[in-house]
Chains A and B, each alone.
Chain A
């Protein structure tokens, strides 16, 4: 079983909806990540939080809004998404800086109608 838990596992939403993806880890990790993965492609980094502060934003459109309420939780708020945003959204965590392995959750499969 993965130690990074993502909910929901599947999400279908219309382009005008507002929804949120959630990620939780209890490994004491201080860095958390959001990735987007399209079919048959590798993951692409979206955001990184270090010690609950946003440290990396890979020029992601503002319709994606990350939030880190505490060191164990990471949210991704979605609003006015486009069909091309349909993908597997993966959350990961690591102990801190980049010399530690990243541990991934099983992802949320997002479909935009």
Chain B
């Protein structure tokens, strides 16, 4: 059974710092990995999706990497801003549970201090 873990559970950094969020998964037979952000009381916003054949994806100040063999992904946020404060979730779809079923990590609650 696929399990997804995110470390740390919470992170607080001053504005302007570069930071890395971590995601690990137990079954490397995945179709893709997706990073989301969730603001309090809101839905999920898709940030990046990495297909299993890809190593990384970039969007603006965000860069996500995927190492399928080791079961790890990282989300790199450059030059952090207070507006980046949110909960960040990673999710994988895999051959075991089916392409449409996402298995989520518990999330990292990020706070950027002005």
The answer to whether A and B come from one shared complex is yes
Nearest CB in chain B: distance from A101 CB, A: 4
Is there an interface contact between A99 and B89, defined as CB atoms closer than 8 Å? no
Main secondary structure on chain B at its contact with chain A? strand
Q: From A65-73, A76-84, A103-111, give the one contacting chain B.
A: A103-111
Most buried by A among B32, B42, B45, B100: B100
- Chain B 81-112: CB-based contact to A (< 8 A → 1; otherwise 0): 00000000101010000111110111100000
B51 at the interface (CB under 8 A from A): yes
With A43-B44, A107-B42, A109-B41 known as contacts, the answer to whether A98 contacts B98 (CB < 8 A) is yes
**Interface size of A as a range:** 20 to 34
**Interface size of B as a range:** 20 to 34
Is there an interface contact between B43 and A42, defined as CB atoms closer than 8 Å? no
Is there an interface contact between A42 and B107, defined as CB atoms closer than 8 Å? yes
Nearest CB in chain A: distance from B35 CB, A: 10
Main secondary structure on chain A at its contact with chain B? strand
Nearest-neighbor residue (CB-CB) of B32 within chain A: A99
Is there an interface contact between B100 and A103, defined as CB atoms closer than 8 Å? no
A50 at the interface (CB under 8 A from B): yes
26 residue pairs A–B, Cβ–Cβ below 8 Å: A2-B43, A6-B43, A41-B106, A42-B89, A42-B104, A42-B105, A42-B106, A43-B104, A45-B102, A48-B100, A55-B100, A56-B98, A56-B101, A90-B44, A92-B44, A94-B100, A97-B100, A101-B49, A102-B46, A104-B43, A104-B45, A104-B46, A105-B43, A107-B42, A107-B43, A109-B41
When A and B form their complex, which 8 residue pairs have the shortest distance between CB atoms, in order from nearest?
A98-B99, A42-B104, A104-B43, A104-B44, A106-B43, A98-B93, A101-B49, A101-B46
Interface residues of chain A, those whose CB is within 8 Å of chain B, are: 2, 4, 6, 31, 33, 41-43, 45, 48, 50, 55-56, 88, 90, 92, 94, 97-107, 109
